[in-house]
Amino acid sequence: MSFLLPCPHCGPRPVDEYACFGEVTTRPAGESPSLRDLTEYVYFRDNVAGVQREWWQHRDGCGEWFLAERDTRTNEVLSISEPEPAPPV
Partner 1 sequence: MRLGPQPRELIDRSQRVLFTFDGRAAGGYTGDTIGSALYASGQRVFSRSFKYHRPRGLLCCSGHCPNCLMTVDSVPNVRVCVEPIRAGAVVEPQNVWGSLDRDALAVTDKIGGPFTPVGFYYRTMIRPRFMWPLYEKVLRNLAGLGKVDERHHGHSRYDVEHRRARVLVVGGGQSGRAAALAAATRGPGVVLVDEGMRLRGAELEGVEVLAPARALGIWEGGLVPVDAGGVLYRFRAERIVVATGALEQPLVFPGNDLVGVMLPDGVRRLIRDFAIRPASRAVVLASDDDALEVADELREAGVAVPRVVDLRTAPLGRIEAKGRRGRVSAAVLDGRAVECDLVVASAGRQPSYSLLAQAGARVEYEPSRGIFVPAELPAGFEALGAVTGEGCATVHPLRSSGARNGDKSFVCVCEDVTTKDVDRAIAEGFDSIELSKRYTTVTMGPCQGKLCQLASIRLYARTTGVSEATVGTTTARPPWAPVELGLLAGPHHEPARRSSIHFRHEEAGATIQWAGPWKRPYAYGEHPEDEVRAVHESLGVIDVSTLGKILVEGPQAVELLERLYPNRFGDMKPGRIRYGVITSDGGRIMDDGTIARLADDLFYVTTTSTGADAVTAWFEWWNAVWGYDAEIVNVTGALAAVNLAGPRAREALSRLVDDPDDVAGDAFRYLDAKELDVAGVPCLALRIGFVGELGYELHFASPAGEHLWDRLVAEGAWPFGLEPQRVLRLEKAHIIVGQDTDSESNLLSAGMSWLPKLEKDDFVGKLAVEHVARREEVERLVGFTMEEDVVPAEGAQVVIEGRPGGRVTSARRSEAVGAVIGLAWLPPERCEDGTRFEIRVDRRTVGARVRHGAFYDASGARMRA
Q: Which of 6, 8, 33, 61 binds partner 1 (CB under 8 A)?
A: 33
Q: Which of 40, 59, 69, 72 binds partner 1 (CB under 8 A)?
A: 59
Task: Report the alpha-carbon distance of residue 49 to residue 30 in Å, rounded.
Answer: 31
Distance of closest approach, residue 85 Cβ to partner 1, in angstroms: 4
Q: Does 14 bind partner 1 (CB under 8 A)?
A: yes
Q: How many residues bind Zn ion (CB under 5 A)?
A: 7
Distance of closest approach, residue 83 Cβ to partner 1, in angstroms: 5
